[in-house]
Amino acid sequence: MASAVIAALAVFGCSRAPESSPVITIEHSISPQPARVGPVTVTLQLADAAAKPIAGARIVLEADMSHPGMSPVFGEAKEVAPGQYQSQVRLGMAGDWVILLRATLPDGKKLERQFDVRDVRPN
C-alpha cells in the first residue's frame, strides 16, 4: 500500500509542467537624462532568470515616434562589458519615442522588448 502511494506521487511529480522558459530581463537606461534631440546612448543589461549576465547576444534597436509619418531610426548595440550592451541612436525630433529591441541570444533564441522614451526635449 505504501509503495503504491509513493508510485502515485512519483507519477504526479513527473507530470508537472516542464520548467517554464527562462525569464530574461533587459534593463535599459538612456543618457543624457532627460533625453534630448540628437544622439542618445541606450545602455542595456541582459540577465537570465538567475540574474547572471548574458554575454554574446546580438541586439538591434529601432526607435519610432508615437505619431505616424516618420521613418524609424535603427541602431545596433555593442557589448561593452559581459551582458552590457550600448548603442547610440539619433533622435531627430522632440516628443515621445518608443524603442524596440530585437535580441538574439547566444543559444539562438530571439526576443523582443520595447520601452518608451517620453518627452524627448528639443535641443
Least distance in angstroms from the C-beta of 66 to Cu ion: 8
| Minimal distance, residue 62 CB to Cu ion, in Å | 14
Contact set with Cu ion (CB under 5 A): 65, 70, 93
Rounded least distance, CB 69 to Cu ion, Å:
7
In angstroms, give the least distance from the CB of 97 to Cu ion.
8
In the bound state with Cu ion, the residue whose beta carbon lies nearer, of 91 and 101, is 91
The three-state (H, E, C) secondary structure of the chain, written as one string: CHHHHHHHHHHHHHCCCCCCCCCCEEEEEEECCCCECEEEEEEEEEECCCCCECCCCEEEEEEEECCCCCCCEEEEEEEEECCEEEEEEEECCCEEEEEEEEEECCCCCEEEEEEEEEEEECC
Nearer to Cu ion, 63 or 101 (CB): 63
* Length of the chain counted residue by residue: 123
Task: Specify the residue, 70 or 73, whose C-beta has the smaller distance to Cu ion.
Answer: 70
Contact 100, 62 (CB under 8 A): yes
Toward Cu ion, which CB reaches closer, 55 or 93?
93
